[in-house]
Amino acid sequence: MSLAPAPTLSLDHRFARELPELAVAWQADDAPDPRLLLLNEPLATELGLDPATLRTAEGLRLLVGTAVPAGATPVAQGYAGHQFGGFVPRLGDGRALLLGELTDVEGRLRDLHLKGSGRTPFARGGDGLAAVGPMLREYVISEAMHALGIPTTRSLAVVATGRSVRRETLLPGAVLARVASSHLRVGSFQYARVSGDAELLRRLADHAISRHHPDAAQAENPYLALFAAVVTAQAELVARWMQVGFVHGVMNTDNVTISGETIDYGPCAFLEAHDPATVYSSIDHGGRYAYGNQPIVAEWDLARLAEAMLPLFAEEQERAIELAVAALGEFRPQYDAAWSAGMRAKLGLPEGLDDAVAAPLVEEFLILLQAGHVDHTSAFRLLGAAARGDVDPVRNLFLDLASFDAWSEGWRALAPDADAMDRVNPLYIPRNHLVEEALTAATEGDLAPLGPLLDAVTHPYAERPGLERYATPAPADFGTTYQTFCGT
């Protein structure tokens, strides 16, 4: 394997240096014939990388991990996790590598990470590889989330490796180059905790404070303040997911970040018909990670973080538990506040409107959506037109017209702000049938559908002519039992 230095890139390895117990130095598998499928030029520029250089043979070797910059130490990260409620003490990056950290043009530290780069010591039964389809899927959905203003890991590139991956059939393999403010997870703390090394747990918390929540360092109890900051970040994140109808699909504790960024786009999808019971993941039989359960599950995951951090909160366990319970108790009020502020904006309600008026209006609208199996994204977007006086397009989505009319009358009497609504209610989201269409074509070697899809979902708010199909729900023949697959 060639390990020629990649030009113009200087990577730090602060994670590996400060937390060697959580890092195993490792190398990517060879990629016989790397071919660039997608490159995020604006993100590359933001990172201080030259897109033209990344497109060269040398650049592609960097993006699949077979050439690392001089001095870089790629590592597989160790972490634990509760998977569907069951604790696994040693998960870790089975098919991923942290190449290192770089400082972007605004001075922020960002992880450069590869997914699908080959087996690592954490691979367990897995092959360490990833197929083109799922890596493009993570690229499309994470970039859509970013464009929606939702904190997320970013996607820099997808490079086909030229190697096949055996799934149900043989599929073309790929590596995703991913960027994150860090890859620290709730599971990272669980891993440190079960190691029994109290000093490691403290060092991990210090690392997290310095990278994500520096204000916590000034608090009377910095580790409790760190926990509280993660609670806030996750409460706000999940409220945003709920507002756009995003279903993560696998909210295991190893997929919950300390930064508050959305991570690990596996079986995720956006709602069409609004229904809290919606599950897309083929392995989520019990509906644990259903759309409507996400706030509850996030709180559960944060309780696992509190358990892992307990020895840091206070010397005496009783006291530590008391502090943890109080801090976790902030999740619900913070989630509720983020949810209701976002929903008021989605309905274009005037600021300062009494909650006794706003809350039932939101609640009743959601009940109408659910009862009528109404497309979540279209309904909110068309409410903007209704606020301008064009009520029929949204009205026609509902079955129970009398109930809709009664609701609409009360809502319009509050003079909702249509322009403000159009700035928060997206027109273009990654609709499941269009994502499938683009990924199926790409897997067969046709990248054509991917470009317009990405263009639509990365500019989600302003209506553009010619993009009507990206604003339209799936045709009836796509069915209502869409399934997504994990670990693929």
Give the residues lining the site for ligand AMP (CB under 6 A): 91-96, 122-123, 126-129, 250, 254-255, 264, 266, 486-487
Residue closer to Mg ion, measured from CB, 141 or 471: 141
Smaller CB separation from ligand AMP, 94 or 372: 94
Give the one entry of Mg ion, ligand AMP, none that residue 265 binds, where binding means its C-beta sits below a cut-off of 5 to 8 angstroms depending on kind. none
Q: Which is nearer to Mg ion, 138 or 264 (CB)?
A: 264
CA-CA distance, 464 to 484, in Å (whole number)?
29
Residue type, 411: W
How far, in Å, CA of 161 to CA of 132, rounded?
A: 9
100 belongs to an annotated ligand binding site = no
- Rounded CA gap, 155 and 40, in Å? 7
Q: Indicate the helix (H) or strand (E) that contains 18.
A: helix 14-18
Closest CA to 432 of 281, 262, 241, 222: 281
The binding track of 160-189 with respect to Mg ion, each residue x by CB under 5 A or -, is: ------------------------------
Question: Three-class SS of residue 251?
Answer: coil
For Mg ion, which is the closer residue by CB, 29 or 264? 264
Q: Has 346 been labeled as part of a binding site?
A: no
Residues counted in the chain? 488
**134 contacts which partner out of ligand AMP, Mg ion, none, CB within 5 to 8 A by kind?**
none
Query: 405 a known binding residue?
Result: no
Instruction: Pick the piece of the chain touching Mg ion (CB under 5 A) from 67-75, 133-141, 256-264, 289-297.
Output: 256-264
**Is 446 annotated in the active site?**
no
264 binds Mg ion (CB under 5 A): yes
CA 219 – CA 12 distance, rounded (Å) = 28
Q: Which does 127 bind (CB under 5 to 8 A by kind): ligand AMP, Mg ion, none?
A: ligand AMP
Establish if 143 lies at the interface with Mg ion (CB under 5 A).
no
Among 56-64, 253-261, 294-302, 332-340, the segment contacting Mg ion (CB under 5 A): 253-261
- Pick the stretch among 144-152, 223-231, 260-268, 292-300 that binds Mg ion (CB under 5 A): 260-268
**Binding at 94: pick from ligand AMP, Mg ion, none (beta carbon under 5-8 Å per type):** ligand AMP
> Nearest CA to 248 among 296, 286, 283, 290?
290
**Active-site position among 93, 111, 254, 301:** 254
Which residue of the chain is nearest Mg ion when measured via CB?
A: 264
Output the smallest distance, CB 264 to Mg ion, in A. Answer: 4
Say if CB 78 and CB 23 are below 8 A apart.
Answer: yes
Query: Strand pairing partners for 131?
Result: 173
Helices (H), ranges, 115-180: 132-147
Query: Based on the number of CB atoms within 10 Å of its own CB, is 437 exposed (0-12), middle (13-18) or buried (19 or more)?
Result: middle
Closest CA to 311 of 190, 186, 219, 187: 190
95 is in an annotated binding site: yes
Q: For residue 264, say whether it is annotated as part of any ligand binding site.
A: yes
Closer CB to Mg ion, 264 or 299, in the complex:
264
255 is in an annotated binding site: yes
Residue 471 binds which entry of Mg ion, ligand AMP, none, with Cβ cut-offs from 5 to 8 Å by kind? Answer: none
Nearer to ligand AMP, 17 or 166 (CB): 166
Residue 103 has φ and ψ, to the nearest 5°, of: -100, 125
Site string for Mg ion, 428-447 (x = CB under 5 A): --------------------
Find the part of the chain contacting Mg ion (CB under 5 A) among 174-182, 255-263, 272-280, 431-439.
Answer: 255-263
In 60-125, where do the E strands start and end?
Answer: 75-77, 81-83, 86-88, 96-103, 109-115
Which of ligand AMP, Mg ion, none does 91 bind, CB closer than 5 to 8 A by kind? Answer: ligand AMP
Q: How far is the CB of 487 from Mg ion (least distance, A)?
A: 9
- Minimum CB separation of residue 22 from ligand AMP in Å reads 13
Core vs surface per residue 213-230: b (16+ CB within 10 A) or e: beebeeeeebbbbbbbbb
User: How does 453-472 read in b/e, with b if 16+ C-beta sit within 10 Å?
Assistant: bbebbbebeeeeeebeebbe
Q: Per-residue x/- marks for Mg ion, 350-369, CB under 5 A?
A: --------------------
Q: Which residues contact 206 (CB under 8 A, 6 or more apart)?
A: none
Amino acid of residue 466: G
Contacts of 281 (CB under 8 A, 6+ apart): 249, 250, 266, 267, 289, 483, 484, 485, 486
Tell me phi and psi for residue 25, to 5 degrees.
-60, 130
Question: Among all residues, which ones are annotated catalytic?
Answer: 254
Please report, in range form, the residues annotated as the binding site for ATP. Answer: 92, 94-95, 115, 127-128, 178, 185, 264
Residue stretches of the annotated binding site: 92, 94-95, 115, 127-128, 178, 185, 255, 264
Residues that bind Mg ion (CB under 5 A): 255, 264
